[in-house]
Structure formats: C-alpha cells, structure tokens
Structure 1
Amino acid sequence: MALLVSNSFNGVESVPKDYVMPPERRAGDFVRVCNEIPVINLVSDRREIVQQILKACQEFGLFQVINHGVPDKMMEDMMALYDEFFNLPVEDKLGVYAEKPRKGCTLYTSGLEYAKEDVHYWKDTLKHPCHPIDEHSPSWPDKPARYREEVERYMIEVRKMGFKILDLIAEALDLREGYFNEVSQEHTMAINRYPPCPDPSLAMGIAGHHDPNLVTFLQQDIYGLQILKDGKWMGVDPIPNAFVVNLGYQLEVISNGRLKSVEHRGILNSTTSRTSIVTFFGPNPELPIIVEPAKELVTSSNPQMFKAYRYNEFIANYLALAYSRRQGSHKGFALESYRL
C-alpha cells in the first residue's frame, strides 16, 4: 500500500527522499501573486460580464467569479467536510483507496500511478464522478456520515453555476445558448489535500499541466495555485467563497484558438494543510463524442486551427503523454498532434 501523505507524514522534520523533486521540477524562486487576474461579479450587467469573461479567457485562460449562486455556507461546509475526511484514520478510508486512479470513486496519493513514479507529489486526492448523482453516489465514501447528502447538494448548485458560466462563454463567442451542453455532460470531482510540508522548496503539490476537459471550477481557501503567463509563474490569490474558472483544452479547440487553456500547478506551504475542491465539466469519454472547432468560428480570415477528433482518443493520448513523463507535466504538447 502506498502511503497517504495526510496520514503518514504529520510532524516530519524533513522531506522523505522519494518526495524530493529534482531541481528542474521544483517551484523555484519567489512567485508574486497576480493582482490582474479578473474577478467577475455574476450579478452585474450581463453585457459587461460577457465582455469581462471574453477578455479573461483570451488573456489568462482563467478568472474568478463571485456572487455565483452557490451559498457561502455550503462552500464552508464542504471545506469542513473534507478536513474531516482527510483526518480520518487510514482504516476508515480503505474502502475507496487504490494505488492508482481508476473508474469510480478512488482515493489515491501523489500522481498518476504511484508505483511507476520516480518521485512523488506531496498530496492525496479523492476523485469520483458526480453525474448522474443517483448512479454514482452509492460509491462515494460513507464517512463522514453526512458525505453523500452534502456533496449531492453541492453538486446541484455547482452544475447550475457551471452551465450559466458556459452560456456566458458561448455568448462571448457569439454561439447559441446551450452550445456547450453536449460536451459538458460528465462532471467529476477531485479533492486534493496538500498537507504541511517541512521544506516546500524541495517538494511539489502538482507540476504544471493543462486540464484536458472543457472547463474546471475550483474552490480554494489557502494560497497554492499558480498559473503560467507569458513564460512566468504567477500566483492566484484565494478570494473567500469565490470559484476559480479554469479553461481546459476542449474550450481552446472549440473556440478555434480564440480562447486559451492555461497551464497551472500547485505549490506547498510549511504551516497549513491546503484543500482544493475541483469540479471538472467535459465530454463523456465513454461516448463517441467528436470535438472540433465550432463551424461558426471558422472563416476565411480565421481558418480552422484543429482537426476533428474523438474525445476518448484525445484522453488516451493525453494520459499516455502524462504516464510517459511520469510527473504529469504536459506543457501544451497534448494539443500539438491535433493542430492543422
């Protein structure tokens, strides 16, 4: 059994050698928090919201939203729920534990496959599908006892918010309302736990990567998220009860390159556990879904940038690249074979 970082390394005074990253994989020097990342109020003027979203998606591939409809108390309750979950004894989590990611509900440590990694990430992850809820919730953890009830309520509200934001993105691109519904039917949660690390300069939470899906919604309360912009890493300041909206590869393709996916990573600190609650919206890889640039966005002055492909084949290619590099840092290469 691979060690769960959140249970095994409390109070250690040095980073175990198989968690010490080679110098080229470390976070490096001090990274400033970027104050220019847009924070968008979803109850302001709609035309202004659409313009702000378009600009953010083109310049950063990421923005934060407030007044999004998910109740503050619900978000706070979710953070408390996952604090309790990750602090459970190991034996109470064995029912969902595996040494590598798998279909269904899985608790695993580090990266894509623990046994094949030459060095491990300082994190644990609980990941499970969420839609349809009735189909997937029986596989979710049974401890804490309130887990399924609270996560069901949360996912209902996050889905409402997610589709609202996707419609705003569609409007920004002059696409019809509901355009992204077909390619955003799979909703998966990944809850990452980054315990305090005795020397954050030596270890990593997760290396730089792009998300392969359509769009990602991230709830965080402690600093640790960084994005790569213009060749430099910048920090994303946590805003209480806000969601970070992070564009994935599929939005870059469907927008025919008008929008950008963003490379991002997770760093560590020495004093406090950090939890990120992540919800992925994207195509269902079990279905024969074709992804391609929206025909409305392909013109003589803006020719087609990407060829059409099956999403399940894209995911297989993405994961193969990640496994081959062991540390999951894709750095944009997953899209290269699909460019025209």
Structure 2
Amino acid sequence: MAGEIDVSVDDQQYDRMEMLKAFDQTRAGVKGLLDSGLVKIPNIFVRPSEELTEESGYKNTTQLIQVPVIDLSDIQNANRRKQIVEKVRIASEKWGFFQVVNHGIPMAVLDGMIDGVRKFNEQGVEEKNKYYSRDLKRKVRFNSNYDLFSSKTANWRDTLAISFSDQINSEEEEGLPDSCRTYPLYSAEKNVIITKQEITLEYSKHVTVLGNNMLELLSEALGLKPDHLNKMECSKGHRFKFHYYPACPEPDLTLGTTKHSDIGFLTILLQNQISGLQVLHQGQWVNVEPIPGALVVNIGDLLQLVSNGKFISDTHRVVANCIGPRISVGCFFPGTISEVKVYGPIKELVSEENPAKYKEVLFTDYMMKFLNTGLDEYLGLDYYKL
C-alpha cells in the first residue's frame, strides 16, 4: 500500500530516483498517496521553480474566450454540411481544438465510460495491481505517469491504457478490467437492471464512426476529397487512455498533465464535469469547459504535418484541482502501425508559393522518439521542421 513506503520527504536534497522507485513500487498510483492521508505532495510532483516563474509570463485564463463548439446534427444535408466543414476549418486553423455536440454517441454510453473509469480506480489496490505495468507491449496496463523515470516532474494522475491495433472486438475485451467492460441499463418503469452493455466495446464502435466522420470533415476543410485522410490510414486503429486525476492537496505546485501537443492525427476526448483541461491560445491559457454530452476534438502533430501547417496541433495541459476526481477518456488516432509507413505533407497542399514545411517521417521512428522522451521535454514537430 502507498502508506507503507515514505514518498513524502520534505528535504530539498532528496534522492529523486529513490523516491520515484519507492512511489512506483507502491503500485497504487496517486490515488494511493491520497488514500494514505498525505496533506503535502511529494517532491517528485513539485514543478521546478523556473517553470512556476515562467507561468507568471502567461496571460491569466479568462472565460471571455471559449473554445469553439460545433453542432454535428443533420450532417448529411449538403448545405448544413458545408456550414459544419467551414466551422471545422476555422477551428482547426485557429485553435486546433473544438467541442462537438449531437455527435451520435448516446449519453448512456458516455456516462458508462466515465463510471467504469471511476470504478476501476476506486476499487482495491490488489485488483488494480493485476494490470500495473510499464511494459509498452502489454495491451492493457495501469500505472501513474508513463514517463515517470524520464520526466523532470511527475504529474498528478493515474492512467489505464488500452492499446489495440484496430477497433476493440469482443474477444479482446475479455482482457479488460470488469469495471471497464460492462455497465447496467435500468428500466425506469420497473426500477430494475434489465441488461448489461459491453461498454468499452460499444464506445469503441461509436468513436470509430465519429473519428472517420471527423477525418472526412477535415479532408473537406483542406479542400480534398472526403476520403483522403482515411485513405492515408489516419484512422487505422485507435488507443484509449483512461485518466483519473484525484483531488490534490497542493494544486498550485503541480499539474495533472504537463503542457504538450498530441502525437498522431486526431484525439477525441470524453471528460466528466470537473474542469481542468486548458489550451494555450494566443499566449493565454483557456479552459475547455465541460459541456454535458459534448466531446473534445483536437488536432494531433501528424495532422499538422500532413496538412503542411494549415491545421495546428496546439499546446494544452490539465491543471491539478483541489476537488476531484477529474476523469477523462482519451481516444487517440495515431495512424497505422507499420515499420514502413511514411508520412509527409500532402502533395496537393504543397506548391512553389507554399513549399513543404516538414520533412517526411517514418512512423516507427516518430513513435519511438515520443516514447523515449519525457512528456515535458518532447519537442513535437520541432524535430521535423525543414
């Protein structure tokens, strides 16, 4: 248990590696620290003083600026679709972030996913230990901070990651924790459970459809045929990360997730109703406020690269909070996993007037650079600029 190993040393001259090992060996994550009753966060989570000083250079977050919200209803109507494509284009060029409503995924499925993440993290440590691992080859793994030993500062979150080559099928779902597999459907009339729905499988099916639809809209927003990005296998397979951010006793000293841009092509994020996600827009941190039933969509680095910089993969983070837990389900569309897959600026988007801004990248090299670098030191597309 977390309380059995002291990971809350106050001495500034602490042995960081020993403390990281001690924390990892608890196998209980940040939730375990909180359950042990600590009132001060361990030094491994405290942001460097220079980073806190840099923070003062940003403009204060304001609610006067809001991330765009796009209504996807009636998307097959030609005139309506043109309006949606235009909104997607503007949001992708200016923000790299937007929220979508009326996207077709039932509220019961969204609620079931959030509830499953909560139940997994709030069950006994012994059960979670079955999935605790830092082996990236495992399809289902639970840990706190994938980059715990390579980052400068640990983040205040625990994560259950699910990695499959394509849409999750019923056989693969057998390997998931029970809490993330099924959820009850109630009959209000009879006040009883009438069935159990395969929640992660059901959400996976819905989010695959939504991801393909979004890539069609993004293709059209680039002036290309609707199937262009899907033919490039941008939607081939997806990865889930279930993030759990417990309440933090000293939220001003740490972050839930450090600032970064997403790898891959596209991210679709489900979040509960506790705020924390922020996007850096024109030098200002802007809250991406939760909207019931909405999903957050953001452009990834590879989509910025293949669009030759027309769409932006913007920097974002999750702040720590004194209330919680904040829960999110990130679905990442990284592109096809192939040793020979190469991505570069789409030739239709390159001309003498608009030359290529990025070099071609071998997908496996791209992924390994990310996985071998701490999130707080990863330079994103800076590695690939011409």
Count the aligned residue pairs. Answer: 333
Counterpart of 1:300, as a letter, is E
Q: Return the offset for 1:283.
A: 1.2
SS at match of 2:254: coil
- Equivalent residue of 1:228, what SS? strand
Partner of 2:260: 209
Greater displacement, 311-320 / 199-208? 311-320
Unmatched runs of 5 consecutive residues or more in structure 2: 1-24, 75-79, 184-196
Out of 352, 371, 383, the position equivalent to 1:319 is: 371
1:199–1:169 CA distance, 2 compared to 1 (3 A): same
Q: Does 1:263 align with 2:311?
A: no
Task: Give the % identical residues.
Answer: 31
Residue 126 of structure 2: aligned partner: 91
Q: Identify the residue that residue 150 of structure 1 maps to in structure 2.
A: 199
CA deviations 1:125-145 (Å, max 9, x no partner) are: 010124242364233223466
Structural mapping, 1:1-340, within 5 Å: 1=25, 2-10=27-35, 11-26=37-52, 28=55, 31-33=61-63, 35-44=65-74, 45-99=80-134, 101-112=136-147, 114-130=148-164, 131-134=166-169, 136-143=172-179, 146=182, 149-181=198-230, 182-221=233-272, 222-320=274-372, 322-323=373-374, 327-330=375-378, 333-340=379-386
- Contact 1:34/1:237 (8 A) holds in 2: no
1:334 Cα deviation (Å)?
Answer: 2.8
d(CA) in 2 for partners of 1:226, 1:209: 11
Contact 2:280 2:314 in 1 (8 A): yes
Provide the TM-score with structure 2 as the length reference: 0.81
C-alpha distance in structure 1 between counterparts of 2:115 and 2:247, whole Å: 17
Deviation at 1:103, TM superposition (A): 4.0
Aligned equivalents of 2:277, 2:198: Cα separation in 1: 28
What is the alpha-carbon distance in structure 1 between the residues aligned to residue 132 and residue 47 of structure 2?
25
The residue type equivalent to 2:120 in the other structure is: F
Q: Counterparts of 2:333 and 2:345 in 1: how far apart (Å)?
A: 18
Cα deviations by residue, 1:242-300 (Å, 9 ceiling, x for unpaired): 11101001110111111110111111111221011100012123442110111111122
Structure 2 vs 1, CA of residues 270 and 206 (structure 1 numbering), >3 Å: closer, same or farther? same
Three-state SS of the structure 1 residue aligned to 2:251 is coil
Consecutive unaligned residues in structure 1, runs of 5 or more: none
**AA matched with 1:317:** K
Q: Amino acid of the residue matched to residue 29 of structure 2?
A: L
Counterpart secondary structure, 1:93: helix
Give, in angstroms, the shift of residue 329 of structure 1.
4.3
Deviation at 1:91, TM superposition (A): 0.5
Structure 1 residues 195-225: Cα deviation after superposition (integer angstroms, max 9, x where no partner): 0001100111111011111000001122000
The answer to whether the 8 A contact 2:167-2:208 is kept is no
1:40 is aligned with what amino acid?
A: I
8 A contact 2:140–2:160 mirrored in 1: yes
* SS of residue in 1 equivalent to 2:279: strand
Over alpha carbons, which structure has the higher Rg? Answer: 2
TM superposition shift of 1:117: 4.7
Displacement of 1:302 in angstroms is 1.2
